[in-house]
Chain A
């Protein structure tokens, strides 16, 4: 099914469900850190809708509070990545020449190194500039250190394409300076791809957070996160299916929502595809 603008509706709905869960967590569920050793690894029941984890904590509660972490870090990581990538891509695309060559090498070099490894290293070794931030911010920052390349690449390509257009040539002819051309003419026209990158980035950020917490360098205990639940699931394979299925489904919902939203925006912005 080629993407169509209904993807936006589907995406918004899916992201909305998770965001709603995150926002309303205190009213929907009990305390996610209440340990009940009497009902460890209890299957879903009327007392615990989604069962309990290895310490008898309510999975539904940890899922709802984990949604806060996932959504927050997803958004922060995406925004920070775009914030870093935007000026870099803009300089490369607008200036061209040696600046473009240098930045292109930088992007290529960043892509050379496995990003997950860099993020894990940054978080587990903890350079001093990172340690001053709160935990979610720290994770988002570490993710954006490697996550800025897509935004930079898209903006560079967009600026190069637009920079050659007649509209920009006439703006330059009418005496507009570099700053005016970038801010008034180029940026507004290239916001589409940036928006798409942002939407994809939220999903990717949430996924990366879960991965990091799953590996053990993300959100530290006892704070609830989806990755931590999935980590427990790894060690209960075949014993507690609810630990694997529910957080996985929640993550799936959020990431699918973001991806659909991004695809929808992309199609919506491209009149050529919209008409077909």
Chain B
């Protein structure tokens, strides 16, 4: 079991390395660079631009620049942002907290709704709840996130005035106590998190339902019914445990969606998270920031898939003994 896990982690590390190489090469291949050659509105004097290019080593061939970046990375230095003139680590720290809070809230809401919905559907397959749930999630799955965002903003922020329209903090929140500021931030993140969660809700609830129905219809379910357990009792006591493994696999694939998928939601609700930073840095060719974000996104994704693989080996006796 341990060698299998080690191999999994090693391949993940290689993948991550490859991703950074490809992103680096791609960004270097794109027209224009951080010295702002494509900014016709504010031309720089040639000697100033040459100094800039030399300072950031923009004229070196990209493999050399990549090697330098990798060397710095191994020493724990992510470099300095070209545009913000601040160390990438400090630039990322605040935004990371915001993105983490947003995504955690979304994930919490999604799982908190999807699992009960799935159980409700599996309780009586083809029953009224199952049908209603299926239709509702079908519909929700086909609704564009930004449409939901517009409607939610209109209903809850403009019409009812219950929740803030955009941003992450009220005007006075800076001077409030820490607990109040935190609550204020969560308050601001309710609508964006709802939008973010809506996309995966259909996916996860159906996934739970299908797995529960299959395990209920199997030998285990039949044996449980023979012992006098009702379907609901079986689902809660045994079925859910069996659904955890496929759910973990799914979770591994959902993490990158949460990291990158929040771009649109962040833009619409004016939330200063990682997605909008990535977007802005690609446009300004801010290479160190783009690479750092690639690392974060890649690490989260690979950690998610690797962790779910490892947990599956650990949780599922069939896989554990086969390995």
Contacts and interface: CB of A to CB of B under 8 A. Distances in A.
Nearest to B32: A125
Contact of B15 (A108, A230, A255, A259): A108
A115 B31 contact: no
Contacts of B138: 256, 259-260
Contact of A113 (B30, B31, B260, B305): B260
Interface of A: prevailing SS: helix
A211 B264 contact: yes
A238 B158 contact: yes
Interface residues of B, number: 53
B259 interface: yes
Given A112-B302, A244-B154, A1 B260 contact: no
A1 B297 contact: no
Nearest to A245: B151
B144 A248 contact: yes
Interface in B144-175: 144, 146-147, 150-151, 153-154, 158-159
Interface string B2-19: 000000000100111011
A248 B135 CA distance: 18
Name, among B31, B142, B302, the residue most crowded by chain A CB atoms within 10 Å (CB to CB).
B142
B116 to A, nearest CB: 18
B95 interface: no
A120 B279 contact: yes
A113 B134 contact: no
Contacts of B16: 112
A128 B31 CA distance: 8
A207 interface: yes
B239 interface: no
Contacts of A234: 146, 150, 268
Contact size range, A: 35 or more
Interface string B270-308: 000001001100110000000000100110011001000
Contacts of B283: 121, 124-125
A233 B150 contact: yes
A121 B126 contact: no
A54 to B, nearest CB: 15
Interface in A151-176: none
Interface in A103-137: 105, 108-109, 111-117, 120-121, 124-128
B114 to A, nearest CB: 17
A241 B154 CA distance: 9
Given A109-B18, A111-B301, A244-B154, A116 B261 contact: yes
Given A203-B142, A259-B142, A112 B301 contact: yes
Name, among A113, A230, A259, the residue most crowded by chain B CB atoms within 10 Å (CB to CB).
A113
A230 B158 CA distance: 17
Given A105-B15, A128-B31, A255-B142, A113 B298 contact: yes
Nearest to A105: B15
Contacts of A244: 147, 150-151, 154
A211 B148 CA distance: 13
B179 interface: no
B144 A1 contact: no
A202 to B, nearest CB: 12
B87 interface: no
B14 A105 contact: yes
20 contacts: A1-B135, A108-B302, A109-B19, A109-B298, A112-B298, A113-B297, A114-B297, A116-B260, A117-B279, A121-B282, A124-B283, A127-B30, A215-B267, A234-B146, A248-B144, A248-B147, A255-B143, A255-B144, A256-B138, A259-B142
